Chains A and B, each alone.
Chain A
C-alpha cells in the first residue's frame, strides 16, 4: 500500500481558512468513509482531529472540518490561529483491513 498524497506545506494568515487535501485510491480513501486527520506538534503525541471523514471527537474545535469527494479527502481549518501551526496527517482504512497514512502537511500560520 502506498502512502496517501498530501501537499508538503500550506500556509495562511490568522483568521483565514486553509484546506489540506489527501488523495488515495478506490482501495482506501475512495472505498471507505474511514478517513481520519491528526494534528502533530513536534515532540508531542499526535491528536485525532477528525474521524470517519467529517466527525469531530469531543473537545476538538468546530473550526476543524472534514469532507471527501471520490478518492480525495480534505481537512479545512477556518479562523486560523497561531496554535494551529503543526504537521497534519490523514489516514485511511484500506481494502486489506489495514491503515495507511499520508505523507504529512506542514501548516505555517504567517
Chain B
C-alpha cells in the first residue's frame, strides 16, 4: 500500500521561504520510472502543478514558478523536499505530494496522493 504525507509549517510570513517534506512508504524512489511530484490548490481554486523529481534525480518545474522552487529527494529516508522562496499571500494553498508510478509514463499522472497540508501566508 502506497502512502504519502506532507509536513511543514502551517503559517509563513511574506518573503519567507517555505520548506515542505513529503514522507512516503510503499515504494522506492530509486526504482526506475518512479517519481514524486508536488501540486497545490489555493482555496476555492484549481489544482496547479508545481514540480516533479524522478528516480534518477531528473527534476521538472512549473515554468511560472521555476525561479522560486527547488525539489530534492532523500532516498534513504523515503522523503522528498520542496522549497519555495519569497512566499506571498497568493501562495496560500493546500500543498499535495503525489506518487507517479508505472501507469504514469514520464511523470504524466499521479496514482496516489497525500491528504495535503494547508499553508497560509500572512504577516
Chain A: residues with CB nearer than 8 A to chain B? 1, 3, 32, 34, 36, 38, 40, 44-48, 51-52, 55, 57, 89, 91, 93, 96-104
Contacts and interface: CB of A to CB of B under 8 A. Distances in A.
Interface residues of B, number: 27
A99 B107 contact: yes
Interface of B: 37, 39, 46-49, 52, 60-64, 96, 98, 103-111, 113-116
Contacts of B110: 36, 38, 46, 48
A104 B109 contact: no
A27 to B, nearest CB: 12
B114 A89 contact: no
Given A1-B63, A34-B108, A99 B52 contact: yes
B63 A101 contact: no
Contacts of A89: 46-47
Contact of B109 (A40, A44, A45, A51): A51
A34 B105 CA distance: 8
Nearest 7 Cβ contacts at the A-B interface: A34-B108, A36-B109, A45-B113, A99-B49, A93-B108, A104-B46, A51-B109
A99 B113 contact: no
B94 to A, nearest CB: 9
Which residue of B46, B49, B64, B113 has the most chain A CB atoms within 10 A of its CB atom?
Answer: B46
A52 B60 contact: no
A34 B62 contact: no
A45 B108 contact: no
19 contacts: A34-B105, A34-B108, A36-B108, A45-B114, A46-B39, A48-B111, A51-B104, A51-B109, A52-B105, A57-B103, A91-B47, A91-B109, A96-B63, A98-B49, A98-B52, A98-B61, A99-B107, A103-B46, A104-B47
